[in-house]
Amino acid sequence: MNEVSPRVSIIILNWNGWKDTIECLESLYQIIYPNYDVIVVDNGSEDDSIKKIKEYCEGKLKVDSKFFGYSSENKPIKIFEIEEEEARRGRFKRPLYRKYDLDRRLILIKNRVNYGFAGGNNVGIKFALSVLSPKYILLLNNDVVVQRNFLDELVKVAENYKRIGIVGPKIYYYDFDGGSNVIWFAGGKIDWSRYPPYYSIYKGNTDNEFFHNWYYRVDWTSGACILINTSIESPLLDDKFFFGAEDVDICIRYSKARYNIVSTPSAIVWHKAESSRKTLKQVRRLYIETKSNLHLINKYFKEIRYSDKILLAVSIITLVIRKLPKLVIASLSEVRLKHLETDQKLNI
């Protein structure tokens, strides 16, 4: 292990998504960065996720991806399996862990229930800080595939420029009409006069000269892949955000501490956009996202200019008028579907 390169603890949250998770893991174990940990936090999955992740680590489950070839050279991977309570207490066999190569070890934390994106990741973040003492935390969605040098590029930017607190990569769609060169996220802006008060500034674009810059400042970067400096502010997420806007919030916090949020096009990953949200039913998804967005607004409401508050209120009212009929129809459809499922079970 190269101790010159700062330690990065990579945290991947899994919830009923083992197929995506093992593809993400296989891409990670092929990176060239010399000092990292891989921590999978299973967020109370109700499927065979734990079993399948173990089979992958044993070399029994191969990964097929258009972005890389499967490697059997680092299998089996030693799993350090930890219950949630042990993780919270910081109990860990670190001397044994250090004996294994970077690409032949995995920390697997098993949460008892689904704590949401923020709460689930926080279990992993607290564990990493107490046991592994990394300079950086990298939060990585389980439906992301990474380029081999992505972490080198993220850390290079974070280390070579002063007052950088958070760095994000250029994130392509995993598959956009058969292609993989369309940008899903490459930086975001915050605008308190609209709802939601944050948005992606380059979504849907393809590469141009601008995206070859080494880095540029943004207001926020996506939690799908976000490198956070642990020595500046607490990297813990606000767990009042169950799912959505927690990445915007932590970027605001770091900005308020006078540290820059930047994006670097030289670090590249691919994201199966919206795959996590597809597992949520439409009505529940809208409820969770709205609750998170309103919490974000309420958290910083006193700091918003009066004129922006008026425009924000108008934006919310307009959105409600436009979406309410669709929401009612979706809600009725879900109720009808539940009744049909119940009738089928009774007939059986």
Task: Estimate the crossing angle of helix 246-256 against helix 282-299, to 10 degrees.
Answer: 10
pLDDT of residue 325: 72
Q: With 90 as the cut, is the pLDDT of residue 214 above it? A: no
Exposed e or buried b per residue across 299-329, where buried means at least 16 C-beta atoms within 10 angstroms of its C-beta? beeeeeeeeeeebbeebbeeeeeeeeeeeee
Would you say domain 8-278 falls under CATH 1.10.286.10?
no
**For 46-53, what is the mean pLDDT?**
97
Beta carbons of 138 and 167 less than 8 angstroms apart:
no
Q: For the chain, what's the residue count?
A: 348
Q: With 90 as the cut, is the pLDDT of residue 267 above it? A: yes
What are the residue boundaries of the structural domains of the chain, listed by start?
8-278
pLDDT of residue 157: 96
From the list 9, 57, 11, 7, the residue with the least C-alpha distance to 34 is 7
pLDDT of residue 1: 40
pLDDT (tens digit per residue) in 120-137: 999 999 999 999 999 999
Q: With 90 as the cut, is the pLDDT of residue 140 above it? A: yes
Alpha-carbon distances of 39 from 10, 56, 141, 204, rounded to whole Å? 6, 15, 12, 31
Share of the chain above pLDDT 70, in %: 88
Share of the chain above pLDDT 90, in %: 80
Q: Dihedral of the CA atoms 190, 195, 200, 201 (nearest 10)?
A: -70
Q: Give the DSSP letter of residue 6.
A: P
pLDDT of residue 153: 97
pLDDT of residue 344: 53
Radius of gyration of the chain from Cα atoms? 21
**For 307-331, what is the mean pLDDT?**
83
Cα 201 to Cα 255: distance, rounded to the nearest angstrom: 18
The residue behind tokens 């994000």 is 168
Residue 275 vs residue 38, higher pLDDT: 38
Q: Give the DSSP letter of residue 181.
A: -
Residue 117 has, within 13 A of its CA and on its CB side, a CA count of 21
